[in-house]
Amino acid sequence: MKALLPLPDNTFAEMVQPWLDIVERSESASILNLSVRSQLYRVNQLLENITLLKTKLSNLKKIKFVVINLTTLSLDNSDEAEQFFIKKRAKYGKTVFFIIDADRLLDEKKELMGVINALPYLNRPVSILFFFKKNIQLQKYIVSLVHFATLLQNIIVVPLFSKESMLHYIKYEAALYKIEIPKMLIEEIVNQCGGRMWLIKQAIRRYRTTGSKKDIFNHEDMQFRLKTIFNEFEPEEKEILIKIVNRQSNFDSNEKEILSYLDKTGLIVKNKHLSLTIPLLEEYIRKENSQQYKFSISKKNEIKINNLTINSVFSRSQKKLLIYFISHSNVLLARDLIAKIMWGVNEKNNYSDWAIDTAINRLRNKLIDLGLSRELIVTVRNQGFIFKL
């Protein structure tokens, strides 16, 4: 029986097909949106798939593949770099260079840019595939890259994996760890993690360790991964993501170009409004953004965030409750006290638990509309709620 692979054969073939088309044409390309963590793995996976290479490339025997990892490459000057790359070329036939962690060409290894860019113009056929995590189409990069035609000859944006591919990947991980994952939990993992394999792997690892679905999305290691993913975005991209999380729609022309790129990566989707295809990341951004806000209550009982009055967002009863929450933050408020604050009732039989839960959910949704985290209001089962500040 054939061993199950992390990705379906057709998914991997679809990913690398544009790369191989570039090589077949003896051209070069910059491949965007592959994390440094996965670049080398994907390249090695391709080079080990001889059947796929034979199918997609003519004269495979006359092609020399060279993997250059800029993370570990140490060269003192451009002359040394030129000699290094020339020696790596094939004596006969075509050379294909895979440049791993090409983001370093944008800063500490700028001196290599001219050397690598010139390789296809020498007397032997050369194709270069640059692997970037960053979006080099941003204006601040294009200005300095415009003279390096090799990098910009072709631009390929690698999208997030599809739901079907991630379902396959969960099956692979379950078989690897010899565990059973409930069907409903599998759906929840895929829905929360989207097409980010790194997040899915962490959720499964947590489930394997604890044997419980509790907190598989909300633990230290998962938060670290979300933080890492968010921090890999450029500052201008982060601003766009925060706007999306805040459900804002006022984007200028430069921001629309970034939105177009994010759309190609599969990170955003538009239904009633723009949202992220990774709910865990969206909630992480919302939570981080919430921590930058400062609540206050004026003498006129106006609710303010960073000195901006937000009273008009809430109904009268919601306003009463939020004022009380802010004034008693990080304190458990019993359900009957919530009812008394909102509706003035004192007896248990004057309200239902459903009414309380509905009221809290509506208040949470109003906070989310302001770009705040739903975790500002924490439910303590059978007891009440805590407003976390």
What tens digit of pLDDT does each residue of 75-92 get? 767 888 889 998 998 888
Q: Is residue 270 part of a domain?
A: yes
- The Cα 372–Cα 337 span in angstroms is 24
Pull the structure tokens for residue 235. Answer: 């500052």
- Cα 45–217–183 angle (5° rounding)? 75
Tokens 């009414």, located at residue: 355
In a shared domain, residues 200 and 327: no
Q: Is residue 4 part of a domain?
A: no
Q: Is residue 153 part of a domain?
A: yes
Q: Is residue 349 part of a domain?
A: yes
How many domains does the chain contain in total? Answer: 3
Instruction: For the beta carbon of residue 204, count every other beta carbon within 10 angstroms.
Output: 24
Answer whether residue 3 shows pLDDT above 80. no
Q: What is the CATH number of the domain that holds 113?
A: 3.40.50.300
Convert the pLDDT of each residue in 351-372 to its tens digit.
Answer: 788 888 889 988 888 887 776 7
Q: Is residue 340 part of a domain?
A: yes
* Residue count (the chain): 389
Q: What is the pLDDT of residue 1?
A: 47
Percent of the chain with pLDDT over 90: 56
Decide which of 106, 123, 157 is a domain's last residue: 157
In a shared domain, residues 182 and 284: yes
Give yes or no for a contact between 199 and 193, defined as CB atoms under 8 angstroms apart. Answer: yes
Pull the structure tokens for residue 344. Answer: 């003035």
In a shared domain, residues 281 and 349: no
In a shared domain, residues 31 and 111: yes
Decide which of 247, 264, 289 is a domain's last residue: 289
Instruction: For the beta carbon of residue 357, count every other beta carbon within 10 angstroms.
Output: 13
In a shared domain, residues 16 and 65: yes
Look up residue 272 and give its amino acid. K
Question: Could you tell me the CA-to-CA distances from 199 to 52, 76, 166, 215, 217 in Å, in that order?
Answer: 28, 38, 11, 14, 9
Half-sphere exposure of 106 (CA within 13 A, CB side): 19
Give yes or no for a contact between 377 and 387, defined as CB atoms under 8 angstroms apart. Answer: yes
Question: Could you tell me the CA-to-CA distances from 347 to 3, 48, 232, 321 in Å, in that order?
Answer: 63, 71, 53, 18
In a shared domain, residues 153 and 26: yes
Within the chain, strands assigned E span 29-32, 63-69, 94-100, 126-132, 155-157, 268-270, 274-276, 295-297, 303-305, 308-309, 332-334, 377-380, 384-387
Convert the pLDDT of each residue in 243-296 to its tens digit.
Answer: 898 888 888 899 999 999 999 999 999 888 899 999 999 999 988 876 667 788
Convert the pLDDT of each residue in 167-225 to its tens digit.
Answer: 999 999 999 999 999 999 999 999 999 999 999 999 999 999 999 988 899 999 999 99
- Cβ burial 121-137 (10 Å sphere, 16+ → b, else e): eeeeebbbbbbbbbbbb
- The Cα 279–Cα 367 span in angstroms is 17
In a shared domain, residues 188 and 259: yes
In a shared domain, residues 181 and 153: no
In a shared domain, residues 262 and 315: no
Q: What is the CATH number of the domain that holds 301?
A: 1.10.10.10
- The Cα 191–Cα 185 span in angstroms is 10
Could you tell me which residues come within 8 angstroms of residue 158 by beta carbon, excluding any fewer than 6 positions away? Answer: 15, 31, 32, 33, 34, 265
In a shared domain, residues 14 and 152: yes
Look up residue 171 and give its amino acid. K
In a shared domain, residues 146 and 14: yes
Domain encompassing residue 15: 9-157
Q: What sign does the CA torsion over 111, 232, 160, 165 have?
A: positive
Decide which of 113, 132, 157 is a domain's last residue: 157
Could you tell me which residues come within 8 angstroms of residue 282 by beta carbon, excluding any fewer than 6 positions away? Answer: 244, 245, 275, 276
Instruction: For the beta carbon of residue 154, count every other beta carbon within 10 angstroms.
Output: 17
In a shared domain, residues 263 and 333: no
Q: φ, ψ for residue 365 (rounded to 5)?
A: -65, -35
Q: Is residue 116 part of a domain?
A: yes
Q: Is residue 2 part of a domain?
A: no
For range 65-77, the mean pLDDT: 88
Q: Is residue 46 part of a domain?
A: yes
